[in-house]
């Protein structure tokens, strides 16, 4: 039965006894209050008050007891602050920045707490859900990574999962994060965690009974002990979930085997090409070991990018029965002897490596080391440029009046117009976003086209030194203080790491060199160019094979073929995937071209450099 959580003095004292704090309750003498007719109360003030008091988080106990909390009620609870950052499944690093909120272990005490037989299910407004274990809630048992290299490290200090309502002293961005976001904080900015733990738009926390925790042992070039919570987060609908229906109509749900192999087949755990296809093509054995010692052996070529081989943790929406628990290998093409259950280890016949000596490439959002200065402009630009403070001070200064989105009054600002800086660095016109980085590691991004067209966007000098972004008509998150880097992402520069790239709305951005394309399996077809009379032989790599490596997301609808001179042509993704003989081949000049049988000549692009999936 639901009840409104009212912050009466007795409730405060009860909560205090549960969470281990002893507040001193003080009451001020009542003073006469003049009544104001309702019609005279400003509508804006009413809206603010209503928003502050509206429920934003529901906490549900094991027995169904429910507490609804408003933002003001959360802010009145015992606060936990710390540095939180993350590394995504594609290797993108979000550096640590200060967050403030209420810890999960304080929240669950409001509904009776949890013990070792329970876990905590967190659900976002869009339906995304993830389960935290007892140890994660109560003692911060998370895998930690270095915030620069993303290499796994021993936790440098305590980790705490909190429901954050504030970042860097400001409310959470309602668009990017929602009113509340789950983050994992530590005392210092010296560690980050996997990004799947950072739940956006958090709306509900529910205590549930869970089976005992289990671990999946992964061993190859690297070794990893993957716990149940990490596996289940990876098999969520918003991550790597795949399903397979057997001949009896049972639906098995889990993670494709190749994702798990890719975590330990080489030194790359997270990046878009974490699965080493070259190594798999050369050949090694993947051995799955059950609890009773039974083994299933597969070759790496059959495992590579094969979504039909699934390590399942659920069947028909529930846990596996005891003989298969906790994991079973299922999928199309397996024999009955290969669909083994009670899997506890995956072993790769690969020579181990020392992970700590592996040199990591800098994350995409880091400025190249050769560009130095107090402010750098890098990424998709013709001339990566660094500016010292003295150089910025010597540039033409402009005065503008602008209103910060969270302030009521217009203020005067003085500084350097971004357009003047961009005239030097020359961002590419087709860049997609601009990432703004502050000295404390805080990052945000804005559409590049909007920034490039902004006439009054500037770097304004701050009284305490340094510069801040003044961004009229942009959200408050773009008004970043103490800016050190502006990085343009996407567009022309995406091909710098390869001669050809598949990018956009895909699981993995895939850059290829000409040499890599030339080494792939080639096919020859006989077809006719729309502007030629005779049939000819064309040789190349099937476009569908390349797209399968990038894995367009479920909501992808179209693709753009982009040539080196900027020529772009768009077509439905369904038309491209239906074309079994569409190829990428080489021109006489050694560049790439699209070979599109049955399509108009406009789709036969020369000097092809990119396919953008949208």
pLDDT confidence bin for 129, thresholds 50/70/90: confident
Beta strands in 29-116 (DSSP E): 55-60, 66-70, 80-87, 93-103
Domain map of the chain by residue range? 215-357, 375-492, 498-613
CA separation, residue 325 to residues 227, 254, 257, 260 (Å): 14, 13, 17, 18
Please give the mean pLDDT across all residues of the chain: 82
Instruction: Identify whether 326 is preceded by a cis peptide bond (ω within 30 of 0).
Output: yes
Closest CA to 551 of 246, 278, 272, 293: 272
Closest CA to 184 of 194, 173, 174: 194
For residues 376-387, give the mean pLDDT: 85
* DSSP three-state, residue 592: strand
Class of domain 498-613: alpha beta
User: What is the 8-class DSSP label of residue 552?
Assistant: B
**Sign of CA pseudo-dihedral 593, 598, 601, 603:** negative
Residue 525 pLDDT > 90, yes or no? yes
User: What is the 8-class DSSP label of residue 429?
Assistant: T
> For residue 521, with 0-12 CB atoms within 10 Å meaning exposed, 13-18 middle and 19 or more buried, which class applies?
exposed
CA separation, residue 499 to residues 510, 564, 566, 586, 590 (Å): 11, 10, 15, 12, 11
Query: 460 CB contacts (<8 Å, ≥6 apart)?
Result: 413, 414, 415, 467, 468, 469, 470
For residues 447-452, give the mean pLDDT: 90
CB 84 within 8 A of CB 99: yes
Q: Residue 362: its pLDDT value, please? A: 39
Q: What share of the chain in percent tops pLDDT 70?
A: 84
The answer to whether 215-357 and 498-613 have equal CATH topology is yes
pLDDT confidence bin for 230, thresholds 50/70/90: confident
Residue 282 pLDDT > 70, yes or no? yes
pLDDT, tens digit, for every residue of 183-220? 999 999 999 998 878 888 999 999 987 656 688 999 99
Closest CA to 540 of 510, 520, 514, 562: 520
CB 218 within 8 A of CB 346: yes
Q: Residue 50: its pLDDT value, please? A: 57
The string of DSSP codes covering 450-508 is HHHT-SS-EEEEPTTSSEEEE-TTS-GGG--SSEEEEEEESGGGGGGGSSEEEEESBSS
Complete edge-to-edge strand list for the sheet that includes strand 295-299: 223-227, 215-219, 343-348, 285-290, 295-299
For residues 224-248, give the mean pLDDT: 80
Residue 575 pLDDT > 50, yes or no? yes
Helix (H) / strand (E) element for 106: namely: helix 104-109
pTM of the model: 0.43
Q: Residue 212: its pLDDT value, please? A: 62
Identify the CATH number of the domain defined by range 215-357.
3.90.420.10
| CA 34-40-45 angle, 5° bins | 95
pLDDT confidence bin for 439, thresholds 50/70/90: confident
* DSSP three-state, residue 195: helix
For residues 379-400, give the mean pLDDT: 88
Closest CA to 259 of 502, 507, 505: 507
CA separation, residue 399 to residues 283, 407, 458, 467, 486 (Å): 64, 19, 10, 14, 21
Residue 52 pLDDT > 60, yes or no? no
Phi-psi region of 344 (alpha: psi -120 to 50; beta: other; left: phi over 0): alpha
pLDDT, tens digit, for every residue of 285-341? 999 999 888 999 999 999 998 989 999 999 998 888 888 889 999 999 898 889 999
User: What is the 8-class DSSP label of residue 380?
Assistant: S
pLDDT confidence bin for 432, thresholds 50/70/90: confident
* DSSP three-state, residue 548: helix
| CA 491-494-498 angle, 5° bins | 145
Residue 135 pLDDT > 90, yes or no? no
CATH superfamily of 375-492: Oxidoreductase, molybdopterin-binding domain (3.90.420.10)
pLDDT confidence bin for 495, thresholds 50/70/90: very low
Q: Residue 71: its pLDDT value, please? A: 94
């Amino acid at each position: 039965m639901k009840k409104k959580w009212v912050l009466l003095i007795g409730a405060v004292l009860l909560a205090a006894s549960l969470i281990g704090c002893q507040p001193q309750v003080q009451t001020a003498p009542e003073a006469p209050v003049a009544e104001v007719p309702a019609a005279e109360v400003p509508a804006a003030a009413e809206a603010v008050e209503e928003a502050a008091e509206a429920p934003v988080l529901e906490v549900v106990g094991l027995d169904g007891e429910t507490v609804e909390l408003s933002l003001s009620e959360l802010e009145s609870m015992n606060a936990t602050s710390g540095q939180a950052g993350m590394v995504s499944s594609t290797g993108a690093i979000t550096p640590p920045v200060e967050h403030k909120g209420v810890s999960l272990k304080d929240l669950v005490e409001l509904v009776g707490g949890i013990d070792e037989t329970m876990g905590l299910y967190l659900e976002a407004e869009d339906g995304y859900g993830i389960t935290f274990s007892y140890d994660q809630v109560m003692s911060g048992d998370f895998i930690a990574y270095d915030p620069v290299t993303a290499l796994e490290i021993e936790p440098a200090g305590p980790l705490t999962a909190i429901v954050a309502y504030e970042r860097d002293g400001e409310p959470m961005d309602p668009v990017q994060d929602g009113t509340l976001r789950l983050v994992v904080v530590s005392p210092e900015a010296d560690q980050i965690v996997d990004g799947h733990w950072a739940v956006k738009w958090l709306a509900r926390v529910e205590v549930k009974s869970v089976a005992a925790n289990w671990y999946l042992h992964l061993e190859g070039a690297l070794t990893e002990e993957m716990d149940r919570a990490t596996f289940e987060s990876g098999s969520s609908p918003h991550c790597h979930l795949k399903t397979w229906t057997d001949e009896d109509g049972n639906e098995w749900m889990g993670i494709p085997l190749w994702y798990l192999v890719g975590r330990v087949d080489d030194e790359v755990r997270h990046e878009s090409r974490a699965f080493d296809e070259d190594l798999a093509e050369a050949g090694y054995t993947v051995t799955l070991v059950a609890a009773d010692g039974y083994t299933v052996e597969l070759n790496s070529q059959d495992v590579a990018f094969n979504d039909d081989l699934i390590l399942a943790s659920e069947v028909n929406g529930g846990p596996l029965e005891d003989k298969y628990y906790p994991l079973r290998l299922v999928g199309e093409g397996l024999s009955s002897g290969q669909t083994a259950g009670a899997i506890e280890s995956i072993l790769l016949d690969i020579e181990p490596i020392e992970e700590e000596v592996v040199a990591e490439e800098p994350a995409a959002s880091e400025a190249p080391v050769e560009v130095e200065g107090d402010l750098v402009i890098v990424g998709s630009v013709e001339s990566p440029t660094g500016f010292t403070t003295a150089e910025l001070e010597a540039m033409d200064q402009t005065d503008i009046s602008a209103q910060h989105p969270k302030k009521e009054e217009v203020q005067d600002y003085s500084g350097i117009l971004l357009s003047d800086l961009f005239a030097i660095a020359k961002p590419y016109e087709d860049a997609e976003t601009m990432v703004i980085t502050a000295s404390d590691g805080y990052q945000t991004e804005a559409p590049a086209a909007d920034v490039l067209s902004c006439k009054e966007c500037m770097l304004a000098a701050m009284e305490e030194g340094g510069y801040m972004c003044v961004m009229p008509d942009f959200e408050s998150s773009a008004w970043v203080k103490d800016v050190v880097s502006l990085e343009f992402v996407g567009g022309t520069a995406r091909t710098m790491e390869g001669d050809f790239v598949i990018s956009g709305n895909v699981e993995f951005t895939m850059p290829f060199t000409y040499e890599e394309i030339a080494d792939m399996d080639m096919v020859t077809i006989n077809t006719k160019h729309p502007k030629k009379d005779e049939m000819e032989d064309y040789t190349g790599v099937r476009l569908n094979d390349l797209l399968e490596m990038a894995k367009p997301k479920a909501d992808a609808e179209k693709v753009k073929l982009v040539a080196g001179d900027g020529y772009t042509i768009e077509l439905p993704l369904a038309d491209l995937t239906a074309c079994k003989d569409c190829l990428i081949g080489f021109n006489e000049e050694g560049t790439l071209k699209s070979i599109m049988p049955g399509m108009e000549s406009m789709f036969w692009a020369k000097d092809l450099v990119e396919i953008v999936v949208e």
